[in-house]
Amino acid sequence: MASPSPAPATLLAVCALLAAMALFQGARAQQLSPAYYDESCPHVYDTVRRVIQEARTADPRILANLVRLQFHDCFVNGCDGSLLLDDGPAISSEKNAAPNNNSARGFPVVDDIKAALESACPGVVSCADIVALAAEVSVELAGGPYWRVLLGRRDGTTANFDAADNLPSPTDALNVLRQKFADVGLDDTDFVALQGAHTIGRAQCRFFQDRLDNFAGTGQPDPTLDGAYLSALRQSCPATGADARLNNLDPATPDAFDNSYYHNLLRNRGLLRSDQVMLSAPEGAAASTAPIVERFAASQADFFRSFATTMIKMGNIAPLTGSMGEVRRNCRVVNRS
């Protein structure tokens, strides 16, 4: 039996509440500015860039890791640096949630950036802003687009393990992924553009092993995988003993931020299910994400513009501003600790 329809007054009240929440979040985002630290810490960008360049020399993977940190931070409680918090008396760290555990990397580099900034400008630059700046610098150093990072976020004093456990997954179906992005205010273009960050970086075999031999419990490989690519992945990821082995997310240009990732999808060479479903999923890709994949494959400039726009948009997800939150002295612990 269908539930009774809500009264018009109830619908109006709900709509008014949603509108008020949207206005509140928009007002907080408007307090962010690229010039936020121009007087209080004028060399913040140069400091972030210097530390990342040094880290990149020792570990070329770090650029992709730092981009991913912003994604995993902003999707949980907004862009508040909560991902950086370690376990504590009142903190259940998001780092231990399944999508992050033994997967999210780059925290020591954030620590190094924070230490350098604390030396130059004590108590000024938030950890949440460091994450946002590090993502932009990393994309630029990998050959991708530049954008002016909006700054002025404050740091959260809590973590949300349960929400982190529900981050978009490499095994999610297309409709699930689209909904998870929509839940934080990001549309299909944002979704496809952000997935383009997989033009750099690596993924462990465990995140796509099922696609090679037992996709969706069928006992067969994922039918959307190119045959030659499937053979290569089976060589790299045997059925046992290789869960943590790394594979290039973009087999063509693994360390260059470009639109090769989308060309790979057109050839059925997306490494993760969450990559390939944007083009190949029968449950709606043709009417939603596939045309965007084709668009970005046709124009790297279009992809770069959309990616930069979406990174700014994602950076505006529920920031703490003004007197909200704090500026942590150590990104791993709240100040009262």
∠ at Cα 304 (298, 306), nearest 5°? 95
CB atoms within 10 A of CB 322: 9
Q: Which residues are annotated as part of the binding site for substrate? A: 168
- Is the CB of residue 81 less than 8 Å from the CB of residue 128? yes
- Is the CB of residue 332 less than 8 Å from the CB of residue 155? no
- Stated as kind and residue range, the H or E segment containing 248 is strand 246-248
Indicate if 72 belongs to the active site. Answer: yes
Q: Which residues are annotated as part of the binding site? A: 73, 76, 78, 80, 82, 94, 168, 198-199, 250, 253, 258
Q: Which residues are annotated as part of the binding site for Ca(2+)? A: 73, 76, 78, 80, 82, 94, 199, 250, 253, 258
The active-site residue out of 72, 114, 178, 269 is 72
Residue with tokens 């909200």: 324
Q: Which residues are annotated as part of the binding site for heme b? A: 198
Residue type, 17: L
Give the length of the chain: 337
- The crossing angle, in degrees rounded to 10, of helices 290-298 and 188-195 is 50
CB atoms within 10 A of CB 240: 7
Active-site positions read 72
